Amino acid sequence: MTELRIAIVGFGKIARDQHVAAIAATPGATLSAIASRNASLPDLPHFATIEDLLEKGPPIDAVSLCTPPQVRRAQALAALAAGKHVMLEKPPGLSVGELDPLVAMAKDAKRTLFATWHSRFAPAVEPARQWLAARRIKSVHISWKEDVRVWHPGQGWIWEPGGLGVFDPGINALSILTRILPRPVFVTAADLSFPANRDAPIAANLALTDAGSLPIMAEFDFRQTGPQSWDIVAETDQGRMTLSGGGARMAVDGKVLAEEPEAEYRGLYRRFVELAATGESDVDLTPFRLVADAFMLGKRNVVEPFVE
């Protein structure tokens, strides 16, 4: 099996905490270089920009873009033009529409474009999908609340246009929701809370449904202190299914039916290796569209300024 030689572009918290170890644990993948203005790894070639990497770097087959979404389209364009496979951290870009030309470019070049949703690879997501498929779902409630100061320290880009604010973690919940439910869903109403000094929401409440009028409510909040919550609860004709810990644990009426150690990013890289072997792409923009619709339909409320 030929090794997929990967360079990480953008070496912040998520790249250090998740991507490096996941690549090391994935058969058929190897980390060959880092491109970042502010960080590097010992014993690995390092470049300030993706342009320097592509021009002067060692031989690579693929790039994993872990930069803020505001700059990702141009980086993906450069990588595809250089004949590289491309993995996009979530959210995949600054806007939904900018992804279409990249998808077409990857197809023409027979290169992989992989828009990742790491939470779909959480261990209890697939068991939850299978369990719900055989039940009548009555309602769904999402509670996705975390402390931005703990999970996104110093990440000013998240408050800029395109940074998504609370939807940066909230889109993880929507990626799980659109995987485990049997029918497509859409947003019917949204209430967005913007700090007076920021351009992205710090909290959001969404109402969603499907063609069968399934009631779905989602609560996202960046101001949570104390216990953090990443939970999806589905009431069904055969009990209450709770998916907790961001998809790590599934229980029905309190009885745990699925729970395994976190390995989401390993799943992403296994998928990336599979896709790159054939040049296929995997770009599901459904969660991104739901966020875009929330902004379109959202009632804007100005709340107290956010100061880190």
User: In the structure encoding, which two tokens stand for residue 56, read together?
Assistant: 């002067």
Catalytic residue chosen out of the listed positions 84, 90, 138, 145: 90
DSSP-H helix ranges across 43-110: 50-56, 72-81, 99-109
Radius of gyration of the chain (CA): 19
Tell me the CA distances in angstroms from 233 to 161, 196, 253, 261, 300, one per residue in order: 31, 32, 11, 21, 27
Distance (Å, whole) CA 12 – CA 155: 10
Instruction: Tell me phi and psi for residue 180, to 5 degrees.
Output: -90, -20
Q: How far apart are the first and last CA of the chain?
A: 47
128 close to 250: Cβ distance less than 8 angstroms: yes
Which residues are CB-neighbours of 286 under 8 A, at least 6 positions away?
178, 184
Dihedral angle over CA of 158, 285, 126, 110, nearest 10 = -110
Three-state DSSP at 243 gives strand
- Is 90 among the catalytic positions? yes
- Give the helix/strand (H/E) hosting 139: strand 137-145
Which residue numbers are catalytic? 90
